[in-house]
Amino acid sequence: MTQQDLPPLPDAPPPAVPPMMPAPFPPQAVVPARRMNPLVAGLIGLAVGAAVVGGAWAITAAGPGEPGTFTLEGSFELTDEVSSDGDGCKGGYDSGYDDIAEGTSVTVYGAGGEVVATGALGDSELGEDGTTCTFAVAVDGVPKGEKFYKVEVSHRGTVQLSAEEAENGGLAVSLG
């Protein structure tokens, strides 16, 4: 083969063959957005709102800002006109102290004068000499955070305690 037998060369190189590309996906049909039923939207809004409010309430109810409560503990002693029935003691009948017995009301007031908790005199114990009667006092649910507390047994007037005394079981009251 001679040079004359060869076909002539082109003036420019042949164009590059593009790489094979996958066929494009068939076109998607555009679905118009559906409007939500107003009743369903309202119920969803109500449920979300209730969850938010409930969550906020739960966080604040148990959060560090809550002062909490304590049990005010101590004793109440009757020192005059005491009687005993064998199981405990109480104020003597027709003595002026006959309202003092196990179960007599105990009211706790906050510094502003409002009732903050109520309870009752607990178990009683007759003193060795038979002339005194001592009652246990335990009033649950007294809110912390007051500057002072006042405690009243029956209708006998109040005794004031500092917050520290009240929270540390420092109630020691006598009547008679």
Higher-scoring residue by pLDDT: 43, 142 = 142
Higher-scoring residue by pLDDT: 73, 29 = 73
Of 167, 135, 136, 134, the C-alpha closest to 149 is: 167
| pLDDT score of 159 | 92
72, 166 contact by CB (below 8 A): yes
Rounded CA gap, 114 and 153, in Å?
16
For 35-59, the pLDDT digits (tens) are 778 787 777 877 877 777 776 676 6
Distances (CA, A) of 88 to 55, 72, 125: 49, 22, 5
Give whichever of 45-54, 60-69, 71-80 has the largest mean pLDDT: 71-80
Q: Is the pTM of this model over 0.75?
A: no
